Amino acid sequence: MYIGIDLGGTNIAVGLVDKNGKILATDSVPTHKERAYIEIVADMAALAKKVTLAGGCALEDIKAVGIGCPGTIDTANGVVVYANNLKMDRAPVAAEFQKHWNIPVYLENDANAAAFGEYRMTAKDTDSFVFMTLGTGVGGGIVLNGRLWHGFNGAGAEIGHTSIVMDGEPCTCGMRGCLESYASVTALIKQTKEAMEAHPDSAMHEWVAKKGKISGRTAFECAKAGDAAATAVRDRYIRYVAEGVNNLINILQPAVFAIGGGISKEGDTLLVPIREFVAKYNYNKHMPKTDIRIATLFNDAGIIGAAFAAMAEQP
Amino acid sequence: MYIGIDLGGTNIAVGLVDKNGKILATDSVPTHKERAYIEIVADMAALAKKVTLAGGCALEDIKAVGIGCPGTIDTANGVVVYANNLKMDRAPVAAEFQKHWNIPVYLENDANAAAFGEYRMTAKDTDSFVFMTLGTGVGGGIVLNGRLWHGFNGAGAEIGHTSIVMDGEPCTCGMRGCLESYASVTALIKQTKEAMEAHPDSAMHEWVAKKGKISGRTAFECAKAGDAAATAVRDRYIRYVAEGVNNLINILQPAVFAIGGGISKEGDTLLVPIREFVAKYNYNKHMPKTDIRIATLFNDAGIIGAAFAAMAEQP
């Protein structure tokens, strides 16, 4: 048995996970991210023990704990090097956790952990897998030869931070034109807002009045209902995503490319045009093609992936 | 001892290569690329034997032959799946070669072979290496954990075909905005020509009149002499290259990134601004940085890399 922990800016989610990736028990507590890391880690350890017992296991049944954290992670030393969202700066999270529970602890970047969970649960018979999440940002992970590719320094797989429009929209990372600035939910909301301002007659205004605010669903739902301005926003947004997917496939040619995050719930509306774009424009015209899919695990990917990442490190 | 063959559109270059990558003898013959692959392979095999003997070896001393070919290669079966430039379509080059010389033959994409040669000669103590050639096109190769990464289908590492300007310049691959359309020598010549038309007073006109034609050196040399229009072309061109380098580093975070091809002979004029751009804009702010370098092997990379690729496949 393994513990997988998904440390987010809002909640700490903990799961008891078996070797096949099945979650046997789960629980969460608020992160209160303004706190010192020592307090956050104490809560993580207490909740991990609680979930273990709630799942009918003894603490001795747990072989390792995996923790998915946002930010730059030194996986070899179990240190959160930097996580702006959590105010962690060279925080030795693994060692601190072990003060509460002396057990192997493995830290992983949260997007990498989610990628690894999705890979192990849906594509482990393949040698290569790329995962892209369309959320507040555009994150992801890369699995090659069955292992996460971190880069030589652990900072790799920042697939949201490749420019698709040189000198384009400013990105939070300091660059311009990053995929994240066009294909994140944040970007989609901005694109939706701009289209609403340009089209006072669009049905999106009524939708937003009813729902209370613009969201990533505004353009998709109003497009489905036939609104022209919404359709233009949706189609252009999907084109941005497709551009990023195609670029990554030209570099890595993974066996499977999975798209996750909130927007991925749009399913075929999102997937079909991306597949068509890649079929038409990918450089590979003569060899077998990457299988482009919608991810399946949604919120559980983080917990399951953290557990699998810990599992992969055990002898 | 190994034989490395660099099969180009103009010449077949063959080298006798020892296990340390040293070329002991070399020779070349014209490809006459309009011929059937059977004739080209016959010439390759004859020259390989000739070079072996010229280098003081017996045919029995050769353990394997590596061939770097342009196009899409099925490395597992030694087949050139498609090479537009050579009119090869599912050509079983390895099997055909073995009719002339019964020896292990390993086929590799030419850009991948050059990448592997540069890696083994200059960076083999690292676990990850990206090679980008700025030539007629923008090619390259990716080495991860000491092995070429081909993708699951052998078609990977097409690093020139990632868009940096969505909907931008048309690319030969059918997409728009590919790095190749901005950072190849072909693109640089186009950018130079446009700047000359816009600036009839530029010193580039005199340079071209003297040299007979526009080349990839026009802007670099006239910029060095102080011409403003040439400086603008050169700086913008370097910015395109830097954009591509930075994108790849954000995805892969390789230990070493080497830039080769004709333009790389500009040395620090090219390298220093790329390093500055990546230092400023790379997403990785907290971990060790990728070592960005100019490649060293130039024309020999193909022969040496093909030999090393064959070597890596031997038991």
What ipTM was estimated for this complex? 0.95
* C-alpha span between B20 and A188 (Å, rounded): 53
Asked whether the beta carbons of residue A156 and residue B251 sit closer than 8 angstroms, the reply is: yes
State the pTM of this model: 0.95
Q: What pLDDT, on the 0 to 100 scale, is given for residue B86?
A: 85
Q: What value does the mean pLDDT take over residues A97-117?
A: 96
pLDDT at A55 over 80: yes
Q: Which residues of B touch A164 (CB under 8 A)?
A: 163-164, 166, 177
* C-alpha span between B235 and B223 (Å, rounded): 9
Q: What pLDDT, on the 0 to 100 scale, is given for residue A298?
A: 81
* C-alpha span between B37 and A109 (Å, rounded): 49
Nearest CA to A168 out of B163, B159, B137 is that of: B163
DSSP string computed for A247-297: HHHHHH--SEEEEESGGGGGTHHHHHHHHHHHHHH-S--SSPPPEEEE-S-
Q: What is the DSSP letter of B289?
A: P
pLDDT digits (tens, 9 = 90+) for A252-297: 999 999 999 999 999 999 999 999 999 999 999 999 999 999 999 9
Asked whether the beta carbons of residue A150 and residue B281 sit closer than 8 angstroms, the reply is: no
Residue A269 tokens read as 């509306």
Q: Which residues of A touch B77 (CB under 8 A)?
A: none
Strand-pairing partners, residue B128, are: B144
Q: Which residues of A touch B240 (CB under 8 A)?
A: 166
Q: How many helices (H) and strands (E) does chain A have?
A: 10, 13
Q: What pLDDT, on the 0 to 100 scale, is given for residue B101?
A: 98
Nearest CA to A162 out of A75, A280, A251 is that of: A251
Asked whether the beta carbons of residue B251 and residue A158 sit closer than 8 angstroms, the reply is: yes
Angle at A293 between CA A289 and CA A298, to 5 degrees: 155
Q: What pLDDT, on the 0 to 100 scale, is given for residue B85?
A: 78
Chain A residue nearest residue B165, CA to CA:
A165
Asked whether the beta carbons of residue B253 and residue A161 sit closer than 8 angstroms, the reply is: no
Q: Look at the alpha carbons of A210, A215, A217, A221 in this order and tell me if their dihedral is positive or negative.
A: positive
If one compares A16 and A315, the residue with the highest pLDDT of the two is A16
Asked whether the beta carbons of residue A287 and residue B74 sit closer than 8 angstroms, the reply is: yes
Residue B176 tokens read as 């728009």
- Please say whether the beta carbons of A188 and A232 come within 8 A: no
| Strand (E) or helix (H) holding B88 | strand B88-91
Q: Look at the alpha carbons of A9, A11, A16, A20 in this order and tell me if their dihedral is positive or negative.
A: negative
Asked whether the beta carbons of residue B252 and residue A156 sit closer than 8 angstroms, the reply is: yes
Coil, strand or helix at A162: coil
Q: What value does the mean pLDDT take over residues B90-109?
A: 97
Residue to test with chain B: of A175, A191, A236, A241, most B Cβ within 10 A: A175
Q: What value does the mean pLDDT take over residues A151-172?
A: 95
A81, A152, A251 ranked by CB distance to B162: nearest: A251
Q: Which residues of B touch A288 (CB under 8 A)?
A: 152-153
* Alpha-carbon distance values, B32 to B9, B50, B97, B135, B224 (Å): 8, 19, 17, 21, 38
Residue ranges and CATH numbers for the domains of chain B are 2-117+300-313 (3.30.420.40), 126-296 (3.30.420.40)
Q: What pLDDT, on the 0 to 100 scale, is given for residue B41?
A: 97
Q: What pLDDT, on the 0 to 100 scale, is given for residue A299?
A: 83
Asked whether the beta carbons of residue A288 and residue B128 sit closer than 8 angstroms, the reply is: no
* C-alpha span between A304 and A280 (Å, rounded): 35
Please report where in the chains the tokens 């049944």 appear, as a residue: A61
Q: What pLDDT, on the 0 to 100 scale, is given for residue A87?
A: 82
Strand-pairing partners, residue A292, are: A257
pLDDT digits (tens, 9 = 90+) for B245-269: 999 999 999 999 999 999 999 999 9
* C-alpha span between B41 and B296 (Å, rounded): 29
Cα B186 to chain centroid, rounded: 15
Residue to test with chain B: of A107, A250, A282, most B Cβ within 10 A: A250
pLDDT band at A53 (very low <50, low <70, confident <90, very high): very high
pLDDT at B279 over 90: yes
B219 C-beta neighbours (distance < 10 Å), count = 29
Coil, strand or helix at A75: coil
Coil, strand or helix at B255: coil
Nearest CA to A179 out of A276, A94, A81, A259 is that of: A259
Q: What pLDDT, on the 0 to 100 scale, is given for residue B87?
A: 82
Residue to test with chain B: of A79, A81, A243, A251, most B Cβ within 10 A: A251
pLDDT digits (tens, 9 = 90+) for A68-78: 999 889 999 99
Asked whether the beta carbons of residue A283 and residue B247 sit closer than 8 angstroms, the reply is: no
* Alpha-carbon distance values, B295 to A25, A185, B190, B300 (Å): 53, 40, 25, 11
- Please say whether the beta carbons of B127 and B82 come within 8 A: no
Q: What pLDDT, on the 0 to 100 scale, is given for residue A188?
A: 98
* Alpha-carbon distance values, A221 to A207, A218, A227, A229, A272 (Å): 9, 6, 9, 12, 17
A162, A251, A280 ranked by CB distance to B157: nearest: A251
How many CB pairs (< 8 A) connect A and B?
Answer: 157
Nearest CA to A269 out of A288, A290, A291, A242 is that of: A242
Nearest CA to A134 out of A298, A260, A274 is that of: A260
Burial letters B237-257, b for 16+ CB under 10 A, else e: bbbbbbbbbbbbbbbbbbbbb
Q: What value does the mean pLDDT take over residues B107-113?
A: 95
pLDDT digits (tens, 9 = 90+) for A216-235: 999 999 999 999 999 999 99
pLDDT digits (tens, 9 = 90+) for B282-315: 999 999 999 999 999 988 999 999 999 999 988 7
Q: What pLDDT, on the 0 to 100 scale, is given for residue B144?
A: 97
B22 C-beta neighbours (distance < 10 Å), count = 11
pLDDT digits (tens, 9 = 90+) for B165-202: 999 999 988 999 999 999 999 999 999 999 999 999 99
pLDDT digits (tens, 9 = 90+) for B9-49: 889 999 999 999 999 999 999 999 999 999 999 999 999 99
For chain B, percent of residues with pLDDT exceeding 70 = 100
Q: What value does the mean pLDDT take over residues B87-116?
A: 96
pLDDT digits (tens, 9 = 90+) for B208-249: 999 999 999 999 999 999 999 999 999 999 999 999 999 999
Asked whether the beta carbons of residue B72 and residue A284 sit closer than 8 angstroms, the reply is: yes
A127, A159, A287 ranked by CB distance to B81: nearest: A287
